[in-house]
Amino acid sequence: MSAHDVFLLGGVFPGTAPAATLRRVVSYARAAEASGLDGAWVAEHHFIEYGANPSATLMASHLLAATERLQIGTAVSVLSNRHPVALGEEAATLDALAPGRFRLGVGRGGPWIDLDVFGSSVDRYERGFEEGLRLLRQWLSGETEVTHNGEFFDVLPIRVMPPGAGTPVWVAATSEETARIAGRLGLPLLLGMHAPDEDHLALLDVWRREAETAGHDPEAAEHVSTHLAQIANDTATVDRLRASLTELLTRGVGQYVSLKPSRTGRDHAAYVDWMVGRHAVGPADHVAERLAASAETTGVARQLLLAEGLGEPEAVRDNIAALGAALTGTAGTGAPPEAAAP
């Protein structure tokens, strides 16, 4: 049986201040809970309006307190910018405060200026991801003491406090290399929106082979995939979605500052057209069928739904409510208290 969570990008849409954007993320999570959806995962970005939230764990903490039953995840905390022990302490704290509700998703990130600002490096981004992930997993494993000696991290024997309780960790993967790393560690994948199901199947196959070789049970992993999800009963709504997402991508992604500049650019309008055509956009029955077909094809039953593409808060909350009704078979429990939030 599939599970459906909202994926909260926290993009700064035109006419909205970043602070208001962050408050909207909270209202959308509460709307997801009211609609009967299963969880909410929050993105993390630095210095760009593509996403206003700079700390996925901090936002997750607030959402855990603002909701009662939702599973709350990070999609993702950028491990290349963080010391694994510091991130592990935050994750263990959230797991202790809300047992069984927190999900830690981590990713490599990109060769962005974040690395320089936070005292990391392109070298660690390119070659140190597996070491950081191993140290993070060890910290959260339930061991009472951890020591580590490696190329990028040296940790003397130290007490783990608070002790990890097997906090679940997901690894965002867009390449076979990262899928192999996650497979070796037995950590499930978090698959993005940018690739078709066929590409996801290839990554999952790489992951499975590596996991089996390392002695992990591949059937025990709960992989997750991310999907654009918009219930739209007319072409005007789809056109608004295209325009809104294209504007956000063009402006927001264009603000990235790379430490490894590339001359190649992306046609954001074409990419949005591809996403609208591939993903779950259309009437409610079409959205439900498209998501079910993806789950059947890939075997990935937990799906994260990017539902805020229209940007305008009332429209986003309406979409979340409609998704809940379409995917859970219920009408939810009504609008959340923040229905009138900016």
> For residue 262, what pLDDT band results from cuts at 50, 70 and 90?
confident
The total number of structural domains in the chain stands at 1
**How far is CA 66 from its chain centroid?**
19
CATH code of 159's domain? 3.20.20.30
Helix (H, G, I), strand (E, B) or coil at 72: strand
Give the model confidence (pLDDT) of 282-294 as tens digits. Answer: 999 999 999 999 9
Rounded to whole angstroms, the Cα distance separating 85 from 90 reads: 9
**pTM listed for this prediction:** 0.95
Residue 282 is predicted with a pLDDT of 98
pLDDT tens figures, 206-260: 999 999 999 999 999 999 999 999 999 999 999 999 999 999 999 999 999 999 9
- Average pLDDT, whole number, for the chain? 95
pLDDT in tens, 49-88: 999 999 999 999 999 999 999 999 999 999 999 999 999 9
C-alpha pair distances (Å), 166 with each of 99, 229, 231, 265, 324:
11, 31, 37, 41, 30
Show the beta-strand stretches assigned E in the chain.
Answer: 3-8, 39-42, 71-74, 77-78, 102-107, 145-149, 154-159, 169-172, 189-191, 224-231, 280-282, 302-306
Cβ burial of 289 (10 Å; 0-12, 13-18, 19+) is middle
Q: What is the pLDDT of residue 341?
A: 45
The domain of 130 spans 3-340
